[in-house]
Amino acid sequence: MEGGEESGGEPRGHSQDSRMGTPWSQESSPDEGQPADWNRPWAPARRVLLAVLIISLLLGSSVLLVFIFRNCGPRPCDTPVCLDLLARYTASGNSGVDACTDFFSLACGKANGTSNSFRDLAEENKSRLRRILEAPGSWHPGSGEEKAFQFYSSCMDTQAIEDAGTGPLRQVIEELGGWHISGNWTSIDFNQTLALLMSRYGHFPFFRAYLQPHPAPPHTPVIQIDQPEFDAPLKQEQEQKIYAQIVREYLTYLNQLGTLLGGDPGKVQEHASLSISITSRLFQFLRPLEQRQAQGKLFHTVTIDQLQEMAPAIDWLSCLQATFTPMLLSPSQPLVVHDLEYVKNMSQLVEGLLVKHRNFLQSHMILGLVGTLSPALDSKFQEARRSLNQKLRELTERPPLPAHPRWMECVEETGTYFEPTLAALFVREAFGPSTQSAAMELFTAIKDALIARLKRLPWMNEETRKEAQDRVTHLQVKIGAPEWALKPELAKQGYSDIQLGPSFLQSVLSCVRSLRARIVQSFLEPFPHHRWQVSPWGVNAYYSMPDHVVVFPAGLLQPPFFHPGYPRAVNFGAAGSIMAHKLLHIFYQLLLPGGCLNCDTRALQEASLCLERHYAAFPLPGRTSFNGSTTFLKNAADVGGLSIAFQAYSRSLIRHRGETTLPNQDLSSHQLFFRSYAQVMCREPSPQDSQDIHSPPSLRIHGPLSQIPAFARYFHCPRGTLLNPSSRCQLW
């Protein structure tokens, strides 16, 4: 019953039992039913224990968050390529400068002057070619590799060139009939001599003739006649004092050439003076490109027969046929003449000289040829040429040309004549499949970001936007090297027509003829691919409007602009901004006045004027200046290119994990993106030509950075500082 009572109804004495509690109720709820004198002493200890527990949980969470951050955030890249990049950035900039007021100096202002990224990269590529050409190796006899290595070796053998002296050059002059200065002159027909100069020696004393695609659609190959290139700028409208100084320096140079060849000093002086007179008169016939453009006469299409009537002093058919063999020319062959008025005036001058001063005309052509061939001659001729160039640059207030070591000149010469061979060797060493794939992936990300950006441009209507997107979608891209450079069997040409030796000059002349023949042959053969305008080791990307193709050579996609092992911030900021800039060249026409009839012209004009005013407000160092109207298109491409590259980079962070950054630098990944962009633009400030299409280097950095709100955000720039202006332009 007892058990029944405890389990069943409510027994007597229930209220007392409840107050005292049961044994199991005391274990399960110790705070309830405890005597007051038992619970009070332990209360502080319990509170301390509870606080310790909470603090432990908080500390543990913090450690966990740090662990997660360190494993999910950017990790330092400590590979050799990243450490080398870190050393470059450290050496090329000035970290003590305020990023918000002078980012140009921060990125480019090294201790001993301003760094020049493109020039440095070009020299590094040539150094790589030098190592290739000087590495020991065995090549198949008569192969392109063997001849390229032999040519480079003979170019570097300066002692042999010095020992040969003027002998090889005198032989060339004798083949042309000699000249009156030396007393041994055989009067050869003028046009026969001119044809020899053009075809065998690559010298064009009165005009230039070359084979290029037609300037207008369908851009078929055509022989083009253009203005000549002169050694000295003999413009009579120059300040009289400067003009007299230029004439004096040029006369000194021509006298040196004649004297080095053993000419009688009196005759040399006489012939040199008349040669300068001929050059000066030809110079007066030139019309600036802007003038011809304003008159709508950039070029004329005429037949050889028609040109013969307009400029009869030149036997056009025989001279051009000799130059462009194996083409078969006829009187009805169409030509493109870039300045018809110059050609007519040139012909009249030559006709008068043939009547009165035939021997002086011969001397003028010979003196010009000697100048052209001077790189292949001994040190006395080269020094005379170098001295002339430096003095002319001083007189025309241009910066002096840097002195290049002999190996660099020889690399450039070898690359000119043996490009297919050197292209294959360079690509094999410097641009493997993994680099090619990474570069193409980067370009695809940039192109996708541009297409997305086009959807949001307020000044484009739907029709224009659709056309713009189609233009980008159907664009061809060439990355690395031409197809023939990626196929070793095509690059290993035998160059059977090249005969090297016995002198370096004769080797050069044989290469000149071989190169011209290969160029002509390439235009005669069906060629469905775009013809590259740069060598694979070059650093200049470009957009070709006729072929609608954008080209990024392997030489450009090298450190410090690009490497598969770099942090993505570097590749997007440097190479990516270059790619985006070149893509925007597609739309240059739209930004010109009247170039986009279906656009919101008011919005477009306001954005364009805003950008011009924005650039005009920037301070410039020293004597640096620029023409905002001339540089507008490039400024627009700089601003838009950086913005598109940053958008592409931001999207990549969402799609891909594992971003890295450079070690031992207080730069976030986003800051590193902007730092890498600025590195691309580094070069020395210099007085700008009013016709220069690029802004000074500081503006090419500050202009775009100040238009990206993210730059000010990530570098914590106060409102109103130079790179965080109160308003921005909305062009791209």
Local confidence band at 666 (pLDDT 50, 70, 90 cut-offs): confident
Question: What is the end-to-end Cα distance of the chain in Å, rounded?
Answer: 95
Beta strands in 145-274 (DSSP E): 178-179, 184-185, 208-213, 221-226
Query: How confident is the model at residue 63, as a pLDDT?
Result: 42
Query: How confident is the model at residue 623, as a pLDDT?
Result: 64
Q: To the nearest whole percent, how much of the chain has pLDDT over 70?
A: 86
**pLDDT over threshold 50, residue 598:** yes
- CB count within 10 Å of CB 685 equals 17
Distance in angstroms (rounded) separating the CA atoms of residues 580 and 50: 59
Distances in Å between the Cα of 182 and the Cα atoms of 260, 261, 505 are 11, 8, 21
**pLDDT over threshold 80, residue 488:** no
Residue 142, Ramachandran bin (φ over 0: left; ψ between -120 and 50: alpha; else beta): left
Residues 701/79, Cβ–Cβ less than 8 Å: no
**pLDDT over threshold 50, residue 9:** no
**Treating both helix axes as pointing N-terminal to C-terminal, what angle do 504-524 and 190-200 enclose, rounded to 10 degrees?**
90
- CB count within 10 Å of CB 559 equals 17
**pLDDT over threshold 50, residue 1:** no
* Preceding omega of 217 cis (within 30 degrees of 0): no
* DSSP-derived secondary structure letter, 40: G
Local confidence band at 34 (pLDDT 50, 70, 90 cut-offs): very low
Lookup: tokens for 229: 């290139």
Could you give phi then psi for residue 187, rounded to 5 degrees? -70, 100
Query: How confident is the model at residue 490, as a pLDDT?
Result: 53
Q: What is the pLDDT of residues 291-313, one digit of tens each?
A: 777 677 789 999 999 999 999 99
Distance in angstroms (rounded) separating the CA atoms of residues 233 and 246: 8
Q: What is the pLDDT of residues 562-592, one digit of tens each?
A: 999 999 999 999 999 999 999 999 999 999 8
- CB count within 10 Å of CB 482 equals 23
Local confidence band at 177 (pLDDT 50, 70, 90 cut-offs): confident
Mean pLDDT of 174-178: 87
Distance in angstroms (rounded) separating the CA atoms of residues 712 and 724: 6
Local confidence band at 57 (pLDDT 50, 70, 90 cut-offs): low
Distance in angstroms (rounded) separating the CA atoms of residues 411 and 442: 31
Distance in angstroms (rounded) separating the CA atoms of residues 204 and 512: 13
**pLDDT over threshold 70, residue 49:** no
Count how many Cα atoms sit within 13 Å of the Cα of residue 590 in the half-sphere of its side chain: 24
Stated as kind and residue range, the H or E segment containing 300 is: strand 300-303
Q: To the nearest whole percent, how much of the chain has pLDDT over 90?
A: 62
Question: What torsion do the CA atoms of 371, 374, 377, 378 make, to the nearest 10 degrees?
Answer: 100
Distance in angstroms (rounded) separating the CA atoms of residues 66 and 50: 25
* Preceding omega of 218 cis (within 30 degrees of 0): yes
Query: How confident is the model at residue 67, as a pLDDT?
Result: 38
**What letter represents residue 237's amino acid?**
E
Residues 167/261, Cβ–Cβ less than 8 Å: no
Residues 458/730, Cβ–Cβ less than 8 Å: yes
Query: How confident is the model at residue 243, as a pLDDT?
Result: 86
Residues 276/248, Cβ–Cβ less than 8 Å: no
Query: How confident is the model at residue 127, as a pLDDT?
Result: 97
Could you give phi then psi for residue 548, rounded to 5 degrees? 50, 60
- Greater pLDDT, 97 or 490: 97
Q: Output the CA angle 399-404-410, nearest 5 degrees.
A: 140
Q: What is the pLDDT of residues 232-264, one digit of tens each?
A: 877 756 678 888 899 999 999 999 999 999 888
Query: How confident is the model at residue 136, as a pLDDT?
Result: 82
Residues 155/436, Cβ–Cβ less than 8 Å: no
**pLDDT over threshold 50, residue 7:** no
Mean pLDDT of 322-339: 95
Residues with Cβ within 8 Å of 563's Cβ and at least 6 positions away in sequence, in order, are 81, 85, 435, 570, 571
Considering the domain 79-115+453-482+529-714 in this protein, what is its CATH number? 3.40.390.10
Strands 660-661 and 75-76: parallel
Q: Which CATH class is domain 166-376?
A: mainly alpha
Q: Output the CA angle 110-111-117, nearest 5 degrees.
A: 25
Local confidence band at 33 (pLDDT 50, 70, 90 cut-offs): very low
Residues 624/686, Cβ–Cβ less than 8 Å: yes
**pLDDT over threshold 90, residue 39:** no
Lookup: tokens for 120: 């440095």
Query: How confident is the model at residue 181, as a pLDDT?
Result: 81
**Domain-by-domain residue ranges, the chain?**
79-115+453-482+529-714, 166-376
Distance in angstroms (rounded) separating the CA atoms of residues 635 and 554: 25
The alpha carbon dihedral of 575, 579, 582, 584 has a sign of negative
Task: Give the residue from 718, 693, 694, 722 showing the smallest Cα distance to 706.
Answer: 722
Mean pLDDT of 672-696: 82
Lookup: tokens for 249: 């320096």
User: What rounded mean pLDDT belongs to the chain?
Assistant: 86
Lookup: tokens for 288: 């600036």
Range of weakest confidence among 345-349, 465-469, 528-532, 677-681: 528-532
* 3-class DSSP assignment, residue 165: coil
* Counts of helices then strands in the chain (DSSP H, E): 34, 13
Burial class (CB in 10 A: 0-12, 13-18, 19+), 690: exposed
Q: What is the pLDDT of residues 100-146, one digit of tens each?
A: 999 999 999 876 677 889 999 999 999 999 999 999 877 777 788 89
Q: Report how far Cα 644 is from the mean position of its chain's Cα atoms.
A: 19
Q: What is the pLDDT of residues 188-240, one digit of tens each?
A: 789 999 999 999 999 999 999 999 888 888 778 899 999 998 888 777 566 78
Residues 192/200, Cβ–Cβ less than 8 Å: no
Distance in angstroms (rounded) separating the CA atoms of residues 342 and 706: 46
Concatenated DSSP letters of 118-154 = HHHHHHHHHHHHHHHHHS-----TT-HHHHHHHHHHH
Distance in angstroms (rounded) separating the CA atoms of residues 84 and 78: 10
Report the DSSP beta bridge partners of residue 76.
661
- Greater pLDDT, 38 or 47: 47
Distance in angstroms (rounded) separating the CA atoms of residues 346 and 341: 9
Query: How confident is the model at residue 665, as a pLDDT?
Result: 74
Q: Output the CA angle 348-349-355, nearest 5 degrees.
A: 95
Strands 549-553 and 542-544: antiparallel
**pLDDT over threshold 70, residue 16:** no
**What letter represents residue 230's amino acid?**
F
- Greater pLDDT, 158 or 176: 158
